Structure 1
Amino acid sequence: MEKAVMYVDTHCHLDGEEFNADREEVMQRAREAGCQAIFLPAIDMPSSQRILHLCQQYPNYLYPMVGLHPEEVRGDWREQLGAIKQLFTPQVIAIGEVGLDFYWSREFEKEQLEAFEEQVRWSIDMQLPLMIHCRKAQNEMVSILKKYAQDLPGGVFHCFTGNEKEAAELLRFDRFVLGVGGVLTFKKSHLPDVLPQVVPLDRIVLETDAPYMAPVPMRGQRNEPSYVQYVLQRMAEAYGINEEELARKTNENVVRVFDVKI
């Protein structure tokens, strides 16, 4: 049997209830497909605790992040952050999933901005990378990050789906990379044209955002880490290189940004 190309899924919500019935099987399929590590972002205090517990059960395969997702920012965000801050251990590889999301509503805009900036400061204090979610808020996000640009250790702009101009703006934060997942494979996606034009290979990592946004040919199904192989194939095609080289490059980026041995 042909040996699978080895890769890392840098963003997977494996703690979610969508995986309660078959989490072990999902991990087994991921290993068989070549996934050598899965990084788990949190969204709030309960998910941060769940993720830490899950990663303790699968050391050196599952890696935890903790943080407060912008869509979970409410009036109690200070209390949530206070509780989350107590959870940091040497096991935690990043602060995430954090950021700004004004897609549905700006009801908690002020709170989101404050919560994000607080966690950006954590990143500097703890020298841990950020896993950043940003939707309909790139200007606001960039303006916060610019204040701290010299001191930030780096991170990932998760689920990048933007254009050349947006990519170039994000790449100015030179210790950050773009996280690219299933959207790359969608029929109407412009990413196969955008990425090779403006994003060098040392500025990309692979992700699923599972259980969401499954790539073609699995679109519409529950996403899972074994499906990164479809993103890898499409990206290698877009850059005109073989899958082994793309996997090697993106793995090097993972090691550099997250300071983990994989």
Structure 2
Amino acid sequence: MVRGFIDCHCHLSANEFTQDIDDVLLRAKKAGVNALVAVTEGASEFEKVIQLSKTYPGFVFPCFGIHPLQGSGQDLHSVKLQIGLDFTPWFAKTTQELDEQTKVFIKQLEISKELDLPVNVHSRSAAKVTIATMKELGIRQALLHNFAGKPSVAMEGVRAGFCFSFPPAVSKNEQRAKLIRQIPVEHICLETDSPALGMDKHVRNEPGNIKICCDYIAKVKGLSSDVVMEVTTQNALRLFSKLKT
């Protein structure tokens, strides 16, 4: 049995971790985390994540991309992985804004194909478009993090071979439980999305809270936490093959 967790989506370069990142990562190791996929929201974070990966080799793995709400105009030539679409009405208010997000999304998908790398995708109020776009471009290796789309849309992703991950906060959301019940455990990964989306929105979330996700998914699916830990870790290793190195 594989022992230990993989946090497939966390923001270690966030300002909330600036003062005590070493302590945060030590607590994560003590909690059984074997690897963390550190995502970025913009090019300004790339160097910070690279330095973390050098300080913690084999534990922190960079995941470069530009968040849809960070806008266009950023240099995409060094982006390796991407973060997706956000069509939430109060963010994307015009057709032009939606089109611009989609262009940046497609550009990053094309880069991922060129580099033969998986994608780590943010999708909010845009699940159907996100999955359809990835399928059109022939994306095979993808994680849809904190997915909140309809179960029918999720199953389109499952049929395309995509994986889905859920942070601790979903344990308070019955609608998300219905979604988790339908997605096969072979298509589920674990994430914290820290420092956000913990159990209490007023308290900083950390990678060390990953077991909350595992235990909740186990409860919803009627499985043991050990089985969920093992299967989700294998899923993550299959999806992010560079973690094996």
TM above 0.5, yes or no, is yes
* 2: CA distance, partners of 1:22 / 1:183: 23
Q: Which residue of 2 aligns with 1:29?
A: 27
In structure 2, give the amino acid aligned to 1:22. D
Q: Secondary structure at the match of 2:81?
A: strand
Q: 1:173 aligns with which of 160, 181, 192?
A: 160
CA RMSD of aligned residues (A): 1.7
Asked whether the equivalents of residues 40 and 66 of structure 2 are also in contact (C-alpha less than 8 Å), the reply is yes
Q: Which residue of 2 aligns with 1:138?
A: 127
Asked whether the equivalents of residues 142 and 239 of structure 2 are also in contact (C-alpha less than 8 Å), the reply is yes
Q: Is 1:185 aligned to 2:185, yes or no?
A: no
* 2: CA distance, partners of 1:147 / 1:232: 32
Change (3 A) 1:58 1:181: same
Q: Secondary structure at the match of 2:37?
A: strand
Asked whether the equivalents of residues 161 and 183 of structure 1 are also in contact (C-alpha less than 8 Å), the reply is no
* 1: CA distance, partners of 2:187 / 2:226: 17
In structure 2, give the amino acid aligned to 1:144. T
* 1: CA distance, partners of 2:109 / 2:159: 17
Change (3 A) 1:69 1:8: same
Asked whether the equivalents of residues 140 and 160 of structure 2 are also in contact (C-alpha less than 8 Å), the reply is no
* 1: CA distance, partners of 2:143 / 2:8: 9
After TM superposition, give the deviation of residue 117 of structure 1 in Å: 0.5
The structure whose RCO (Cα within 8 Å, separation 6+) is larger is 2
Deviations along 1:194-231, one digit per CA (max 9) or x if unpaired, are 322x211110000011000103xx45310100111111
Q: Which residue of 2 aligns with 1:6?
A: 4
Deviations along 1:90-149, one digit per CA (max 9) or x if unpaired, are xxxx603x2111212244222211111111111111110001111112232233222222
Q: 2:76 aligns with which of 74, 81, 105?
A: 81
Q: Is 1:255 aligned to 2:244, yes or no?
A: no
Q: Which runs of 5+ in 2 are unaligned?
A: none
After TM superposition, give the deviation of residue 180 of structure 1 in Å: 1.2
Q: 2:103 aligns with which of 110, 114, 135?
A: 114
Q: Which residue of 1 aligns with 2:84?
A: 99
Q: Please, which moves more after superposition, 219-228 or 55-64? A: 219-228
Q: Which residue of 1 aligns with 2:146?
A: 159
* 2: CA distance, partners of 1:61 / 1:72: 27
* 2: CA distance, partners of 1:6 / 1:52: 23
Q: Is 1:199 aligned to 2:183, yes or no?
A: yes
In structure 2, give the amino acid aligned to 1:65. C
Count of residues in Structure 1 that have an aligned counterpart in Structure 2: 238
* 2: CA distance, partners of 1:181 / 1:23: 20
TM-score, scaled relative to structure 1: 0.85
Q: Secondary structure at the match of 2:135?
A: helix
Change (3 A) 1:165 1:225: same
